[in-house]
Amino acid sequence: MNTFQKVEEWGNTHQSKWLAVLRMLLGLIIFFKGLYFVQNTDALHEILANSAVSFYTLFLINYVAMAHLVGGVLIAIGLITRGAILFQIPILLGAIIFVNAQKGFYSIHSELGLSILILALLIFFLVFGSGKLSGDEFMRTHVNT
């Protein structure tokens, strides 16, 4: 068993219930941000058009919205959590580097702090897993039923 598997096993067995609630809230925040992007594609188009990745705008609009919708639900219920998180991390890195960093931390309507917090939580749950109250744990314990 390598180090990553040991950390993963430890994380899966030592998570408290409040971390499950935090994971659910994280998933819901990501889901509702995706819902916002679906309802306001013009706003997302404007954000991306003014960023350094403007030539990929159409692809990124669809990727960001769908990844947030699907990934948010998967993270909230704790199903395929690490896979869903792997799709979210590039989006948050892009939001921090290309979009929010241009506005600055102290500007009005800046989401830089929220983006950094969400990224930190995603990395935490990527390492420590979804915990006991999750779809992943249910699937692990009910394989033969």
pLDDT (tens digit per residue) in 31-90: 999 998 888 877 777 766 666 666 677 777 788 889 999 999 999 999 999 999 999 999
pLDDT at site 73 = 96
pLDDT at site 16 = 76
Half-sphere exposure of 73 (CA within 13 A, CB side): 7
pLDDT at site 135 = 86
Measuring CA to CA, which residue among 50, 31, 57, 53 is closest to residue 118?
A: 31
Tokens of 137: 């744990």
Half-sphere exposure of 90 (CA within 13 A, CB side): 8
pLDDT at site 100 = 67
20, pLDDT greater than 70: yes
pLDDT at site 137 = 81
Phi-psi region of 51 (alpha: psi -120 to 50; beta: other; left: phi over 0): beta
Angstrom distance (rounded) from CA 48 to CA 118: 19
Phi-psi region of 131 (alpha: psi -120 to 50; beta: other; left: phi over 0): left
Per-residue pLDDT of 105-132, as tens digits, reads 566 666 788 889 999 999 999 988 888 8
pLDDT at site 66 = 93
Q: What's the average model confidence in pLDDT over 12-18?
A: 72
Angstrom distance (rounded) from CA 117 to CA 10: 23
Angstrom distance (rounded) from CA 39 to CA 19: 30
